[in-house]
């Protein structure tokens, strides 16, 4: 089997040439959304459903969707064609992108709940910590 083709940031690349920046927030902090698509008879199964779920998930994390559903459909169909895939599974990862390790304004307040040993008769301790965002 020849080397797989990867779709990365708008380009089709040989798998051995596909590289992510080391400061990609998806790698550093798992600041990303993953969606999986089944391939059957060379077609994507339930594409619109999966893209709506992806769009909703990105919105929940305030990660911009920098592509249209139509653009992604054509990109993924191109990927299927270039890999001559008739059946299988596509893995789509969308990250926030490359940035330094500074925290983003994603969380203003964090609640930490720690269970304490029963010997103290205190079932739960809750403290609030303000994060410097």
Q: What is the CATH number of the domain that holds 45?
A: 3.30.470.10
Phi first, then psi: give them for residue 20, nearest 5 degrees: -105, 145
**Which domain, by its residues, includes 84?**
5-102
In this structure, how many other beta carbons lie within 10 angstroms of the beta carbon of residue 80? 19
Based on the structure, what is the number of domains in the chain? 1
| Distance separating alpha carbons of residues 6 and 122, to the nearest angstrom | 53
Please report the pLDDT score of residue 99 as a whole number.
82
Residue 65 maps to a domain: yes
> Taking the model in full, what pTM does it have?
0.72
CA–CA distance, 115 with 37 (Å, rounded to integer): 39
Q: Tens place of pLDDT for every residue, the chain, 133 residues? A: 589 999 999 999 999 999 988 889 888 889 999 999 999 999 999 999 999 999 999 999 999 999 999 999 999 999 999 999 999 999 999 999 988 766 655 544 444 444 445 554 444 444 444 444 4
Q: Is residue 20 part of a domain?
A: yes
* N residues, the chain: 133
């Amino acid at each position: 089997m020849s080397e797989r083709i990867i779709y990365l940031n708008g380009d089709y690349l040989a798998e051995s040439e596909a590289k992510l920046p080391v400061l990609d927030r998806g790698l550093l902090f798992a600041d990303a959304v993953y969606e999986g698509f089944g391939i059957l008879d060379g077609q994507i199964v339930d594409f619109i459903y999966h893209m709506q779920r992806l769009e909703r998930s990105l919105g929940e994390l305030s990660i911009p969707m920098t592509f249209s559903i139509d653009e992604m459909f054509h990109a993924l169909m191109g990927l299927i064609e270039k890999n001559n895939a008739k059946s299988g599974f596509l893995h789509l990862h969308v990250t926030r992108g490359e940035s330094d390790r500074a925290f983003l304004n994603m969380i203003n307040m964090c609640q930490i709940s720690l269970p304490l040993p029963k010997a103290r008769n205190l079932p739960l301790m809750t403290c609030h910590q303000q994060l410097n965002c």
